[in-house]
Amino acid sequence: MIQAAGTGKLVVITGPSGVGKGTLVRSLLNRHPDIYLSVSMTTRSPRPGEIDGQDYFFVTPEKFQELIAGEQLLEWAQFAGNYYGTPRQTVEDKVQQGTLVLLEIELEGARQIRASFPQAMRLFILPPSMSELERRLRDRQSESPEAITRRLNRAIIEIAAAHEFDVQIINDDFDRALTEVESVLFPNLPELSLPS
C-alpha cells in the first residue's frame, strides 16, 4: 500500500452529474485502499440494505440542527426535505492520523469547505463537451428527458465555477483521467507503466 506523502489531507472532488466522479472515486479506492472515503450524515431514513456509518450516518433532524449550531459540519445542504452534511470531527481525525480523505460532493458543499477547511485540495472533473455529457446522462436510461434537461442546465452553472478549484481534470478518456487524479493525490508516486 502506498501512503500519501507527508501528513494526511482532505481532497474534495466535484463535477456535474454524469461526468464520472463516482466511477473515478471507486477506481481510486480499489487501487489505493488506504484512502478514506468520507461518509456523509443525513436525516433521511435508511434505504433497504444501507448500513449506518458505512453508507451514511443516519441522525434525527434535531441532532443535525445541533451539529449545525455547534459548527460540527464542514458543509451541509438540504435536498428534498432532508439534510445532508459532512461531519467535521471524523475528517479532522483522519487527516491528523496521516490519512488521505476523499470527499465526493456537489458544488455548493465544495464552496462551503473552501471556507470551513481551506487547506483542502479541490479537484473539478469536467466533461469533454456538453454534448458528451448529455450522451452519458441519456445512456444511463435512469431519468426522464425533463430530469436530464435539469441536470444539463445545472451542469452549465457548475462548469462555469470550475476555475474556483485547484485542479481541473477533463474526463475524456477514463484511464488518463484516473492517472491524472492519482498524480495530483500522490505527486511522489513513480510513473506506473501499464502492461502493453
Phi, psi at 75, each rounded to 5°: -160, 160
127 labelled binding-site residue: no
17 labelled binding-site residue: yes
List the helix and strand counts (H, then E) for the chain. 7, 9
195 labelled binding-site residue: no
22 labelled binding-site residue: yes
DSSP assignment of 48-70:
TT--BTTTBEE--HHHHHHHHHT
98 labelled binding-site residue: no
18 labelled binding-site residue: yes
Rounded to 5°, angle at Cα 117 from 111 and 119 = 105
49 labelled binding-site residue: no
16 labelled binding-site residue: yes
Which residues are registered as beta bridge partners of 82? 79
Phi, psi at 45, each rounded to 5°: -75, 150
Annotated binding-site positions:
15-22
Annotated binding-site positions for ATP:
15-22
